[in-house]
Amino acid sequence: METYPLAKAGVISKEGNKENNCCCEPGENAHRQHMHCDCGEAMPRRFVRPFVLLLLAEGPSHGYELARSLKEFAPEGLNAEPSILYRMLRQMEKEGLAKSSLDDSGTGPARKVYELTSGGREALDLWASSLEGTARMLGSFRKRYERTRGK
């Protein structure tokens, strides 16, 4: 049985989804409608997840700060809509990758502040490793592509 990288961090099952040859949980519909899975074995549908983990590794933050910081990475490429971001943060809490607390020190209503857990750090390390391999692969693709264009 193959163990996928994010299974090691306890994010997904070790068995994965044999039907789609990736680590998504069986029954997930991420592969419908030409979408990509969210497993790290291919370009994830919600690629924002490793960026959120990275931002939380830099320090605790509330959702609005995270959304603003995500736009700094790649304003045209990351989907940082609040509904998606907060859903992701809740899921990351369920998975033990992040934890939250209420901060009522400012004016106005208390805000939920998120911080990375040790499990989140492990998942971030796995994402970083996976992305390094992806970057090498894309670099190789780009070089070969440029050769076909006569560059």
The boundaries of every CATH 1.10.10.10 domain in the chain are: 46-148
Residue 21 has pLDDT above 60, yes or no: no
pLDDT averaged over the chain?
Answer: 76
pLDDT at 79: 59
Please calculate the CA angle 109-111-113 and round it to the nearest 5 degrees: 165
Residue 65: in which H helix or E strand, if any?
helix 63-73
Who wins on pLDDT, 31 or 145?
145
Phi-psi region of 103 (alpha: psi -120 to 50; beta: other; left: phi over 0): beta
Distance of CA 17 to the CA centre of its chain: 19
At the top level of CATH, the class of 46-148 is mainly alpha
Pairing of strands 61-62, 98-103: unpaired
d(CA 110, CA 93): 19
Sequence-separated (6 or more) residues with CB below 8 Å from residue 44:
36, 37, 38
Strand partners, 98: 116
Give the model confidence (pLDDT) of 117-139 as tens digits: 999 999 999 999 988 888 899 99
Whole-prediction pTM value?
0.66
d(CA 119, CA 56): 12
Can you point out the beta strands (E) in 1-145? 61-62, 98-103, 111-116
pLDDT at 1: 43
Q: Span 30-43, mean pLDDT? A: 43
Which of 36, 39, 72 lies closest to 54, judged by CA? Answer: 72
Residues in the chain: 151
Of 20-24, 44-48, 107-111, the one with minimum mean pLDDT is 20-24
